[in-house]
Amino acid sequence: MPEHQRRAVIAGGGIGGLTAALALHRKGWHVTVCERDDGPSAVGAGIVLAPNALRAFDAVGFDAGRAGGGAAPAAMGLRRPSGVRLSRADTATMTVRYGGPPLAVHRGDLVAALTAALPADALRYGAAVTDVAAADGNRPVVRTSRGEFPADVVIAADGIHSPLRRRYFPAHPGLRYSGETAWRTVLPAGGAVTEATETWGRGRRFGAVPLADGRTYLYATAVVPAGYRPEDVRTELLRHHGTWHHPIPALLERVDPTAVLQHDLYDLAGPLPRLHHGRIAWIGDAAHAMTPNLGQGGCQAVEDAVVLAHLLDALPAPAALAAYSRARLARTDAIRVRARRAGRIAALTHPVAVAARDLTLRAVPARAALRALDDLFDGFTLPGGPAEHPAQPACPGAPAFVVEPVDRRARRQANP
């Protein structure tokens, strides 16, 4: 390894941590990903990558659409439990407006593809990060259950319950329970789902998203007390959703209870004061945990990773991390708050409020609904330019990250 090669240690081998590792690796950094689990998870669910996340992946030359079994378009329409449509999603229109629709992939496939793009020795499994020593010094040392790793920068991608966040922001109020729990699973190929849909009832939701290889990603939510765990998952799902429109009951009958993940839905009670401390930067759920109501949790982790790598390539580490906080804090917190508000609307239980919600959704023109997504799907940018952030000489020959500018005027003319 060249003496001048900079080192990054990433705590957490999820989508955000692996994207950060890949982005920095392609800028010439030596990366080490410390993952607490003993190996890649054998279970998982789907993820829908919105256009902003796809643009961020494109900026680092990673084709998320080819991950594993490939990706399927996932423009999401809304229905009532009766099957009546509340809103429609048009893949062709989204392609014109955003350059392509959201894409659904299996999380395990995406993680495997990101891992395969890294050096063979980059992943350290069974290496839970226990401490970061001298975080305010020039060379922090990451202590793990498998030894110590010196670093120029430490990236905390250690999830919603981030130990590093709790340690370095002890006064932060932490997590807030949304009032909902979520079940997720993936059905084997052979289902009857041909389009991505989400159905809203009274305090309950159900989503079905086809994957490219014929499998189907299912998710469901219900308003329940925190910590509630049913004795029989399939019976519970049928109780909540078994009388809803076709093909929901048939899909639920195919569910393998042992393959269902259940997580209560939390978000951060408030924003962090900043997204860095010394030479540590926080990304993804560790930085701005949000409920999944906008489908932006993983997408914002990808954005974080690419922006952080871009700034670390352009600026000395302390300046880069401060610039990262400035670039990402306002956007991610606004999306966190927006996701919380959307969840409150989706989880309404009073019949009058639900009827008013559904009537409003049906009355909103499809193009107006799309325009409301512009700031999410078009909001990814790389801060600064060459004059503001000149490239550092530490990684000669590293490719530049490029994000094509969004011409919103031309887009509105083509698809008003």
Distance CA 274, CA 271 (A): 8
Distance CA 416, CA 414 (A): 6
Three-class DSSP category at 9:
strand
Distances (CA, A) of 1 to 77, 118, 252, 285, 317: 50, 16, 53, 32, 20
pLDDT of residue 390: 43
pLDDT of residue 43: 65
Kindly state whether residue 79 falls inside one of the protein's structural domains: no
**Per-residue pLDDT reduced to its tens digit, 333-369:** 999 999 999 999 999 999 999 999 999 999 999 888 8
Three-class DSSP category at 185:
strand
Hey, which bits of 112-168 come out as E strands?
123-125, 129-133, 141-144, 147-150, 153-156
**Per-residue pLDDT reduced to its tens digit, 20-76:** 999 999 999 999 999 999 988 756 799 999 999 999 999 999 999 888 677 888 888
**Other CB atoms within 10 A of residue 234 CB:** 18
What H or E segment, with its residue span, contains residue 221?
strand 216-223
Kindly state whether residue 191 falls inside one of the protein's structural domains: no
pLDDT of residue 385: 46
Q: Which CATH number characterizes residue 340's domain?
A: 3.50.50.60
Residue ranges making up the domain that contains 290:
7-73+103-175+271-345+367-401
Give the mean pLDDT of the chain. 90
Hey, which bits of 146-215 come out as E strands?
147-150, 153-156, 175-187, 197-200, 204-210
Distance CA 161, CA 282 (A): 12
DSSP state letter for 391: P
pLDDT of residue 175: 98
Kindly state whether residue 409 falls inside one of the protein's structural domains: no
**Other CB atoms within 10 A of residue 218 CB:** 26
pLDDT of residue 333: 98
pLDDT of residue 404: 61
Hey, which bits of 3-144 come out as E strands?
7-11, 30-35, 46-49, 72-73, 77-79, 85-87, 103-106, 123-125, 129-133, 141-144
Which ranges constitute the DSSP H helices of 242-296? 248-253, 285-288
pLDDT of residue 389: 45
Distance CA 84, CA 87 (A): 9
Kindly state whether residue 339 falls inside one of the protein's structural domains: yes
**Other CB atoms within 10 A of residue 76 CB:** 18
**Per-residue pLDDT reduced to its tens digit, 255-297:** 999 999 999 999 999 999 999 999 999 999 999 999 999 999 9
**Per-residue pLDDT reduced to its tens digit, 386-398:** 444 444 434 445 5
Q: Does the structure show a pLDDT above 60 at 406? A: no
Q: Are 186 and 44 in contact (CB under 8 A)?
A: yes
pLDDT of residue 89: 82
Please name the residues in contact with 48: beta carbons below 8 A apart, sequence gap of 6 or more: 74, 76, 102, 103, 104, 196, 209, 295
pLDDT band at 413 (very low <50, low <70, confident <90, very high): low
* C-alpha count within 13 angstroms, C-beta hemisphere, residue 407: 6
pLDDT of residue 244: 98
Classify burial at 250, counting beta carbons within 10 Å of its beta carbon; exposed 0-12, middle 13-18, buried 19 or more: exposed
Q: What angle do CA 340, 342, 344 make, to 5 degrees?
A: 70
Number of independent structural domains in the chain: 1
pLDDT of residue 393: 39
Three-class DSSP category at 183:
strand
Q: Does the structure show a pLDDT above 50 at 298? A: yes
**Per-residue pLDDT reduced to its tens digit, 95-123:** 889 999 999 999 999 999 999 999 999 99
pLDDT of residue 407: 57
* C-alpha count within 13 angstroms, C-beta hemisphere, residue 107: 20
Q: What angle do CA 78, 81, 84 make, to 5 degrees?
A: 60
| Residue scoring higher pLDDT (210 or 410) | 210
Residues forming beta bridges with residue 181, ordered by sequence position: 222, 264
Kindly state whether residue 416 falls inside one of the protein's structural domains: no
Kindly state whether residue 212 falls inside one of the protein's structural domains: no
DSSP state letter for 188: P
Kindly state whether residue 188 falls inside one of the protein's structural domains: no
Distance CA 242, CA 236 (A): 9
Per-residue pLDDT, averaged over 124-141, amounts to 85
Q: Does the structure show a pLDDT above 60 at 165? A: yes
pLDDT band at 410 (very low <50, low <70, confident <90, very high): low
What H or E segment, with its residue span, contains residue 304?
helix 297-314
Kindly state whether residue 60 falls inside one of the protein's structural domains: yes
